[in-house]
Chains A and B, each alone.
Chain A
């Protein structure tokens, strides 16, 4: 398929605070929208499409449009967990290309940390209306982290992947985090033990949260948010900064299945489709923003998107290529990722933000001459029902 450049990311903002007491999720969304539109040089009332996950204070596209004071001609409430924003970017780019909208606004706000939500270790609440999922999962006490632990254990069993190899992902991500002042502030505010670069041994020595996942393989729980403005090529021409083109996108889902392979994510379906859509291949990618809820998530996404063969991710991440100043493959999670910069719950928007900064030349771990980036989100739970969507971006 021929590559098209019909829609671009023209404005971004990442809410700076990771600990934001006294601020609401809606306020984070509004402040981020204001700054992202200012970044683009687009006026508030030019927004004509609103994208929302509906998971912030339980207010969706209708409520947020009223709150912001916008009258969109298009609302999209796609909510698929951590990769919601890649789904939404795909939808927005498609609708803009078809002429249904000109300026799309995606916003995120969360106060997960200040709310003291124990996302990874809480287990099921046993509350809310009953569902088949809850009834067949909750009684056995699976925490979110152990769900990912089961995928890692199977990956190690099936392919011989080692803890040291998984740790490489955490090490490279922290390397980038230490160059990002916002990430350093985040780790400091969240009282990380040792706000410094780490070694694979540090990861292995960190405490076990859900075997075989160690603390330093798990993302943080922070506050935060941000906004992305996507516009048509006509609008993009008059924006303040160079457009970052959305050249490819795809979506897929996968479930815990009888006899299925838990190590294969939905990215095995959506990855190849996104690359075909963009007309590029994995070996051309300069920056890979892969959802790092846990080390295993990144391992699966690297393999399933075709950066290496399935099962060879351990060797792939161990060859000294993940850092922004190393050659041989795309730089990984150059903002510091969910492991070391921020993770308020639905991190997908930050993948788009950092990929955009890289395409603009604005990253704190800037890859020289970066022209192509992939932002690939994973939402839901990797070991159960989840969605995976890559967004492929190109510099102007």
Chain B
């Protein structure tokens, strides 16, 4: 089976995020600057994209959130996806406030069984022992 496109390294902004997935932790950053008015940082960056601060803290998400929106891919030419059948790509709003791209899985019919606003929880798609895992979501 052809592997999905993998995160590639060296890429120092996102490497800590993917390293954390080896421990099955979904992590996000917050800005350490007390004056920063929008402390949440996601996708990962070594700086705060609200205030430009260079000190950030990594936090672990509980992995609970809601579907902000989704689309069901009926046609993908990518070898890793083309035989998958219809699959849902989604933006999920985590309860901690960050929004991530992901897949919503473990549903029979992604068009009908997923709804915007639906509660979902984190599920890991394993890719091999000691490897990174892909954070995905399923109905909570």
Contact = CB atoms under 8 A, between A and B. Distances in A.
Q: Is the A/B pair a real complex? A: yes
Interface residues of A, number: 46
Interface in A130-168: 130-143, 145-154, 157
A146 B73 contact: yes
Nearest to B43: A136
B20 interface: no
A123 B81 contact: yes
Contacts of B68: 154, 262
Interface in A342-396: 383
Given A134-B8, A141-B80, A211-B111, A121 B75 contact: yes
Contact of A130 (B9, B87, B103, B117): B9
Interface string B1-38: 00011111111011001100000000000000000000
A124 B69 contact: no
A136 B69 contact: no
Nearest to A120: B75
Nearest to A153: B69
B74 A210 contact: yes
Contacts of B110: 211
A150 B42 contact: no
Contact of B5 (A125, A146, A151, A153): A125
Interface in B35-73: 40, 42-45, 68-73
Contact of A141 (B81, B91, B97, B117): B81
A147 B76 CA distance: 13
B125 to A, nearest CB: 9
A212 interface: yes
Interface stretch (A96-104, A195-203, A252-260, A300-308): A252-260
Nearest to B116: A157
Contacts of B103: 140-141
A258 B71 contact: no
B134 interface: yes
A contacts with B: majority SS? mixed
Given A121-B76, A123-B77, A259-B93, A139 B71 contact: no
Given A130-B9, A135-B11, A259 B99 contact: yes
Contacts, number: 150
Given A139-B5, A150-B89, A258-B42, A122 B71 contact: no
B44 A136 contact: yes
A126 interface: yes
Given A122-B78, A154-B116, A135 B71 contact: no
B contacts with A: majority SS? loop
A208 B88 CA distance: 13
Contact of A150 (B9, B14, B71): B71
B90 A150 contact: yes
A178 B52 CA distance: 52
A213 interface: yes
A130 B71 contact: no
Nearest to B69: A154
Contacts of A133: 43
B124 interface: no
Interface of B: 4-11, 13-14, 17-18, 40, 42-45, 68-78, 80-81, 84, 86-87, 89-91, 93, 97-103, 110-111, 116-117, 134, 136
Interface of A: 118, 121-126, 130-143, 145-154, 157, 207-213, 256-260, 262, 383
Given A125-B5, A136-B7, A258-B40, 6 more contacts: A124-B5, A135-B7, A136-B101, A141-B73, A141-B78, A157-B116
26 contacts: A123-B80, A123-B81, A124-B5, A124-B78, A132-B13, A132-B43, A133-B43, A134-B7, A136-B44, A138-B5, A139-B7, A140-B102, A140-B103, A141-B89, A146-B71, A150-B69, A150-B89, A153-B70, A154-B68, A210-B73, A256-B91, A258-B93, A259-B99, A262-B69, A262-B91, A383-B69
